[in-house]
Amino acid sequence: MKKERILLSLTLAVLMIFALFASTPTAVVAQTPKIMNIGMFGEPDSLNPVMAASISSWEFINWIFDPLVRWDDNWGIQPGLAESWDWAPNGTQLVMHMDPDATWHDGTPFTAHDANWTLFTWTWLGFWVGQTPRIDHFNISVPDDHTLVLNFVDSGYANIYHWDPDGGVGPPSWELNYRDEYNGTPVAINQEAFLTGLTYVPILAKHLWNPLTWDDPTYGTESTNYAVYGYQDAIWWGMLDPAWPTPLNGTGAFMLNEYKVGEYIRLDANPDYHLGAPNIDGILVTFYDNVDVMTEAVKSGVLDFCETEPVYVHYGNLPDEVTVNENSWMGWEGLLVNQYYNYTNAQGEYATRTVKHNALRQPEVRKAMNQAINKAEIAATAYLGHANAADSLIHTALKWHNDALVTYPTGAAAARATLEAAGWTEVAGVYQKMVEGTLETLEFELKYVTAIPTDFVIKALVKSYLDAAGFSITTIPVESTTFTAQTATEIWNFDIALTFYSQIADPNSMMQYMTSDSWINPNGVNITRVDEIYKEQQLTTNDVTRAALCDEFQQIMYDDSSIIVLVEYNDIEIYRNDVWTFTHTDWASGILSMWNIDSWLEVDEVVVPTTTGTGTTTNGPPLPPLPMELLLAVGLGIVVLVIVVVYFVKKK
């Protein structure tokens, strides 16, 4: 029996050898997954598209979820989950045709019912969603699985009662959330404003989200809270629970594999992505709390890609294997001056504060701050020239920027003149005045995020400018996660905060941020005319009229100076060019952008030459098949070898 096994083994071995000779020779190389290692400063505040506020959150949402339409290279609109759309001649209706090839990451087909569910829900929660308030949530229809019909009205949602958790501070309360009353009058809307706004609305899977919201036993329409207490937006507040199980199943180019809070997020490429599968197999994003350490990791090859600061490009001695990719970042860095009355008046949830800062709500104080700051010096010194001084909330690169913006005279002397004209008196180098019955001095804290070199320089410069103008500024470094929490809407736990805001290429979103009831209102600003302009520019179909409204908005916000834009800066990214090839690098706001997916579909590994001995050769075309005569000769020799082997085995 042992002999037969030996014979069988020899025969199989011979057959395998013959098979090798009979086939076309090819290199057999183990496939290593193509995983890009990215470093990210800070961590997402949430991956739930309904809850997410930070830019890092939306970068992940861009990978995992898809909107109905996407930005193209020129900040125009191109298909996303909707492959085409048609407007009614009177502009009051939009018919969108869904991509039949799109699927959810769990394999479930994407349909118009998912888009309907998402837009209905976001319109219902319209007190914080700025892209959908004109959609009539009583009249969204789905004629078939791939067609969505939207109708537009003056106000698509009504006042509803909601449970207000009071920003997580103090007892919750029931109150009526005042919005525009539902008005079903059909209206023509600004098509550009609406479609560009949809780039900011990721579509959610109805089959996963509906059981956790509308059909949820605690928060849904059949719950006691909804039916008895009128708890009509309970589905929103249910998501505030940290244990709420956000379904992170999207239609996007990448699928969530693993999230280890505080450490990393691993994404896998979606092989069935409806716009074409990515070239790479996945992305590993590691979180850092120090830009310097993160930049060094790219230089050493531990990371493949990260965003960095100008100082590390100027003085970091980057190796040739590291490419610097620099583009204008679609946004601005500036100061938020707190306008939240409970905070400035030390009442409500801030009743334990011992100092009132109603001075921050005085127009002349904010104007003087704006005047005192040398923005050009900040751009040159903090950003080493990788930025430009700015005054408007709308980026200078956009057609909507107000080129005729009227600005204040600047400098410490001009700032002091503004304060003194309003009755402020300088005492021991700091101005003071009676404000609402309290003697207040211009002594404030300036909070900024630690471990960002540019912000470290900016806070020092801002302090020097304001101190020279009769203020007394104490700078407070804050870790990034804490800073995000303290500056969150309806928390607003700061005097002055140094931060940045992004924007899309249409002014609608930036205007919505600044409305009084915006979910991401930056500082409690409340200007009636801004609320009016926000609605008017959505409803006008005349682009000239809309541009004039946008100019008016920018002038109002500059004059108010509760948000002081300092600079527009460049996005600086670095990546390992010895490992990766990017073919889509000139996108405004960079490769790692909350709207750019094309770069991540196209990026691929560098074709690395193979090395043999001391020489180097590249992988050329496949070798031709061996001649049949040679194969026959080799085969005959193998047969003879088998006969000899069999003879000796049997002889033994």
Q: Is residue 618 part of a domain?
A: no
pLDDT at 218: 73
Q: Does residue 349 register a pLDDT over 70?
A: yes
Q: Is residue 46 part of a domain?
A: no
Residue 309 and residue 344 in one domain:
no
Structure token digits, residue 445? 């804290």
Residue 368 and residue 324 in one domain:
no
* Range(s) of the domain holding residue 292: 255-328
Residue 498 and residue 370 in one domain:
yes
> CA 248, 118, 503, 445 torsion: positive or negative?
negative
Residue 286 and residue 368 in one domain:
no
Among 263, 297, 328, the domain-final residue is: 328
Q: Is residue 132 part of a domain?
A: yes
Among 306, 328, 350, the domain-final residue is: 328
pLDDT at 517: 79
Query: pLDDT confidence of 160, banded at 50, 70, 90?
Result: low
Q: Does residue 259 register a pLDDT over 50?
A: yes
Q: Does residue 3 register a pLDDT over 70?
A: no
Residue 349 and residue 320 in one domain:
no
> CA 161, 163, 167, 173 torsion: positive or negative?
positive
Strand partners, 269: 254
Tell me if the pTM is above 0.85.
no
Q: What is the pLDDT of residues 359-379, one digit of tens each?
A: 999 999 999 999 999 999 999
Within 8 A by CB and 6+ apart from 634, the residues are 18, 21
Pair type for strands 264-269 and 254-260: antiparallel
Residue 406 and residue 283 in one domain:
no
Query: Nearest to residue 550, comparing CAs of 438, 401, 365?
Result: 401
- E-strand stretches of 124-239: 141-144, 147-151, 153-155, 160-164, 173-177, 183-186
CATH of the domain at 446: 3.10.105.10
Q: Does residue 195 register a pLDDT over 80?
A: yes
Q: Is residue 463 part of a domain?
A: yes
Q: Is residue 48 part of a domain?
A: no
Strand partners, 334: 499, 565
Among 251, 274, 293, the domain-final residue is: 251
Residue 169 and residue 217 in one domain:
yes
Q: Is residue 575 part of a domain?
A: no
**Cα(239)–Cα(50) distance, rounded to whole angstroms?**
8
Q: Is residue 139 part of a domain?
A: yes
Residue 241 and residue 268 in one domain:
no
Query: pLDDT confidence of 228, banded at 50, 70, 90?
Result: low
Residue 304 and residue 373 in one domain:
no
Q: Would you put residue 608 in left (φ > 0), alpha (ψ -120 to 50) or beta?
A: beta
Residue 152 and residue 291 in one domain:
no
Query: pLDDT confidence of 630, banded at 50, 70, 90?
Result: very low
Q: How many residues does the chain have?
A: 652
pLDDT at 223: 76
> CA 551, 552, 553, 558 torsion: positive or negative?
positive
Q: Is residue 43 part of a domain?
A: no
pLDDT at 217: 80
pLDDT at 460: 98
**Cα(613)–Cα(524) distance, rounded to whole angstroms?**
68
User: Which amino acid is located at 401 in the chain?
Assistant: H
Q: What is the pLDDT of residues 431-481, one digit of tens each?
A: 999 999 999 999 999 999 998 999 999 999 999 999 999 999 999 999 998
**Cα(392)–Cα(403) distance, rounded to whole angstroms?**
9
Residue 480 and residue 545 in one domain:
yes
User: Which amino acid is located at 581 in the chain?
Assistant: T
CATH of the domain at 162: 3.90.76.10
DSSP state of 262: T
Which stretch of DSSP H or E encloses residue 473?
Answer: strand 472-478
Which stretch of DSSP H or E encloses residue 461?
Answer: helix 453-468
Radius of gyration of the chain (CA): 31
**Cα(356)–Cα(350) distance, rounded to whole angstroms?**
10
Structural domain count, the chain: 4
Residue 295 and residue 431 in one domain:
no
Q: What is the pLDDT of residues 606-619, one digit of tens each?
A: 987 655 444 433 33
pLDDT at 121: 83
Max CA separation in the chain (angstroms): 119
Query: Nearest to residue 442, comparing CAs of 357, 508, 504?
Result: 357
